[in-house]
Structure formats: C-alpha cells, structure tokens
A and B are shown apart, each in its own frame.
Chain A
C-alpha cells in the first residue's frame, strides 16, 4: 500500500475561512505530488496560506475543496505518520527533555488501561529501551548533556532541537515544519538548518518545510514550492506559482541559484513586477 502510492498527493486542494462578510479564499487548485523522500520547501508571501497548507497535511484542519492523500489514505486527523515541529509551544513543559523525546514511544506502546491512564504509573516495561532510543536521538541533535532539564531551562534553539528529536523518533512518513527557526537569531538558525539537513539525510524521511525566508528555503530544501496570488484577481486565493527542483551543492552565489532567486522573487513575492 505504502509503496504503490505517493507519500503525499494533493489534488485541486482549496481552503477558505469564514469572515464577517462571506468567505475569504486562502488558496485553491493546489496540485502537487511528493513521491519518494524529498525535502520540499514551501515559500510565499504572508497570507498565502503556507501554514494553512501544513495544517491540512497534518490533519488538524479539513480542506474546503479537493483531496489530500498520504500514502493513498485520506488525511482525517493528526496521527503518528506525520510529525510536526511548530515555531512555538512545541514541547510539553511538564516533561524533561528526555521525557519529551520519549513521549511518542510511551504513548504508542500503551495498551489497554494504560492507554487511558498512562500517567505516572504508565511504566510500560520497555522504559529502559525507550530511554536508550531517546538518548540516541538526543545525541543526534547534540543535546545528550541536557536530557534532565525542563524545556523552560533551554534556549529557543535548543528547544527546537528537542522538538525535532521528539518528532523524528516516531519515524514519521512526513515531517512537517512550520517556520521552525523563525524566532531564532541568525547563528542559531544556521546551525539548526545544518541539523535538519543532516537529520533528513540520516532518516530518509520526507520533509515539508514552510518558511518565509527564501535563502533558508533554498539552503535546506531540494524542491521549491512557491505560493503566490495572481495580481489580476485580487479576491482569488493563492496558487502554486512555481514548483521546481533546487540545484544541489551550488552555493548561494552560483549563477543558477541567483537566477532561481530572481525568478522566485518575480513570481512569488512581487508578481506585479512580472506583469
């Protein structure tokens, strides 16, 4: 089943929200498919529905039009096949770093009454194994020395590292990231970008990475999806204005990257300049 269907299939997808006078269409007629593993950067001006798209893929919101399938199955609610890293409030404040990372393992291994009451009593007998797995995951994001701390004792960048480890330990088919580094300072941001690219190569997962920073999108991703609104139709929703592979291994100064940058700026961010 998983093999024969694309990881993510998005057909004629549209979303709108109710406003005081009718509806506002966020985007419509989105068509794209992610077949193998890939690192897809989604970019667009604010209000184009990047985060909305992510919520639809996650399943925390239902589409207005069109279909969305993950490995052939329609997406109805968030489940463990799709992990998420938010910009804020990604971690559970009452759990230590280690407990945050092993949370998913605990939840999915609980059976019977534990599924209901897996509170402090919820030792499932595989605690040792989970701890080892979580520590290995923490080593990958270089946080093994902070395992016993609580989230509020960590910096913003470290919190996001924990959130990444927390999501990756469940081996999701797709990892969704909603401007995960948007609140971080430039240095931390760069180091986290390297972390996520390395994690992507190690885990062979699919990543859907939403950002408003074009250079970040080009650095981390290998496919670029640009959402933009048509300048001639002010009321209409955003569409995919560009869906293109990102040249790998090229630096930001390379001519092909610069050309892509210029193209995206025309297509996505300043459509008027193109007309």
Chain B
C-alpha cells in the first residue's frame, strides 16, 4: 500500500485487503486456541471431558450426527437443517413481503402513515416470545404455522417502520423532479422512490435475519419434531455438550452464509450503491 506523507490516525485508518484477511484469520485462530487452552486446563484439573469437548471430539460428534439413521435411512442433522431453513425462508419471505409493502405505502401516503404509525410502534414493542403461547393456541401446537407466525410477528413491525423511514427520507427534490419529467404518481413511486431505497431495504432485511433465527430456535425448543432447535433440545436431554456445540457452530456458519448472500444480492440489484460514498 502506498503511504502518503500526511496525518494518519489509528481511528478508521484504511488497511490493505491482504492485511484485513490476515487479521480476520488471526481472530478466528485466537478463538480456537483460547477454547483449546480452556479444554486443556479443564482436562489437567481432572474435569469431566463430557462438559468440555475439544475440537477432535467435536469433529467426531459431527460425524456421529451426520450418520445415516438406519430406521429412516436419512441423516437427522441435514433433515433438521432443511426443516429449519424452510421455516426460516417462509417466515422471512412473508415478513419481508408484508413489511415492504406496508413500509412503502406508509412512507408514501401521509394519511396511512398517521393512522398506522402509533399502532405499529406499540406492536413493535411487544416481545415476540410473549406471543408464543397465543400463537400455539391460534395456529396449532403441531405443524410449522405457529413458528412462521412468530417469525413474521417478530420481524415485520420493526422492518416496516424502518422501510417507512427510508421511504420518507427520499429527497423531495427527486420526487418533484420526476413529476417535472412527466411521471405519473405510480411512476414516481415505482421508478423514482422504490429503486432509490432498495439497497437500504436489503440492508434492513439482512439485519432482521438474526432476530428471525432467535424466534425460530425458540419455537423449535418448545414444540417440534425436527429442526435445529429440536436437535439442540434432544442433545440437551442426553447431555451431549459436543452435539450442542456442533449445532451452534453450524448455526454460525449458516448465519454468516445468509449474511453474505444478502451482501451479494445488494451488489447485484443495486450496483450503484456499493461504490457510493456518503456526501
């Protein structure tokens, strides 16, 4: 990297890409080493290895979990993953659809905004997990519906409010400008307002994936026959800490992959915003 003879501060100073990757790898390595050291100390002091599996044990646990179940001839671990991702996709898809439409309508129409915004703000303050009991009664204890409902309820109000705020923050000049170029009101909304806020919508959706996982896992703990939360619950009953940790690491990997996916999506549909710096 070229160094310039100017004031440099450690605050927000830019790094070369290779340096960034290296530092990231060091971060991962530090966590791994710290954990292995903890396991080693635990072993030395005569602790039960059942409660502190090393990475070797975790690898064996992973192989155990991905063994084919002879009764069903399937792998429960992958079944759990598929089941969880499917519910997550349904919940996120429905939640995103509802809140995007609601957010844009509220952001564009002041009357709808005035009517809905207080109600929505209050609803967003309800801890979604407080609704689990109600949803189980309304949507049934068995089946996925109550889990999907919990995710939708959990992410939609906040997401809708966020999208409303960015839609309202679109510079008025660009709206007036679109009219002066001959746009009709639907065209102003579809061609001038929405495309401008797409990157911000994707960013907010990306941030709501985290909460969506929380509600999904919580719902699966409570009642489920499959799913990653169910798998963790079973491992807990059998006191298999190693299995739990494999599930947890797998959740971290899935979450990171989804996050990265949204990153790519944003670059794909809004190439103009990735190179943009704030003015």
Residues of A within 8 A of B (CB): 58, 60, 77-80, 82-84, 86, 88-96, 103-104, 107-108, 110, 115-119, 122, 150, 152-153, 166-167, 170, 172
Question: Would you mind naming 29 contact pairs between A and B with Cβ atoms under 8 Å apart?
Answer: A60-B179, A77-B179, A78-B179, A80-B180, A83-B180, A83-B181, A86-B173, A89-B171, A89-B174, A90-B173, A90-B177, A93-B196, A94-B270, A94-B272, A95-B195, A96-B272, A103-B191, A104-B181, A104-B182, A107-B178, A107-B184, A107-B187, A115-B187, A119-B191, A119-B195, A122-B191, A150-B272, A166-B181, A167-B181
Q: List residues of chain A with CB within 8 A of the CB of B277.
A: 152
B173 in contact with A88 (CB, 8 Å): yes
With a cutoff of 8 Å between Cβ atoms, the chain A residues found around residue B187 in the complex are 107, 110, 115-116, 118
- The interface residues of chain A lying within 8 Å CB-to-CB of B279 are 152
Interface string of B197-235 (1 = CB under 8 A from A): 010000000000000000000000000000000000000
At the interface, yes or no: B183 with Cβ under 8 Å from chain A? Answer: yes
B186 at the interface (CB under 8 A from A): yes
Beyond A83-B180, A89-B173, A92-B195, 20 extra complex contacts between A and B, CB < 8 Å? A60-B176, A60-B179, A78-B180, A79-B179, A80-B181, A84-B176, A84-B177, A89-B171, A90-B177, A91-B174, A95-B195, A107-B183, A107-B191, A115-B186, A116-B187, A118-B191, A150-B276, A152-B279, A153-B275, A167-B181
Q: How far is the CA of A116 from the CA of B173 in the complex (A)?
A: 21
Closest to B191 in A: A118
Task: Count how many chain B residues have C-beta atoms less than 8 Å from C-beta atoms of the other chain.
Answer: 27
Chain B residues, CB < 8 A from A78: 176, 179-180
A91 to B173, CA, bound (A): 9
| Distance between Cα atoms of A117 and B275 in the complex (Å) | 27
In the bound assembly, the distance between CA atoms of A119 and B191 in angstroms comes to 6
B→A interface (CB under 8 Å): 171, 173-174, 176-184, 186-187, 190-192, 195-196, 198, 270, 272-273, 275-277, 279
Contact A152 B272 (CB under 8 A): yes
Nearest residue in B to A80 (C-beta to C-beta)? B182
Report the separation of the CA atoms of residues A84 and B190 in the bound assembly, to the nearest whole angstrom.
Answer: 21
When chains A and B are docked, how far (Å) is the Cα of A131 from the Cα of B190? 21
Q: Which chain B residue has the least Cβ–Cβ distance from A106?
A: B191
A58 touches B176 (CB 8 A): yes
When distances are taken between beta carbons in the complex, the residues of chain A under 8 Å from B198 are 94
Chain B residues near A96: list those with CB within 8 A: 272
Q: Is the CB of B190 within 8 A of A116?
A: yes
List B contacts of A117 (CB < 8 A). 190
Closest residue of chain B to A176 (Cβ to Cβ) is B180
Q: What residues of chain B lie closer than 8 Å to A83, measured between beta carbons?
A: 180-181
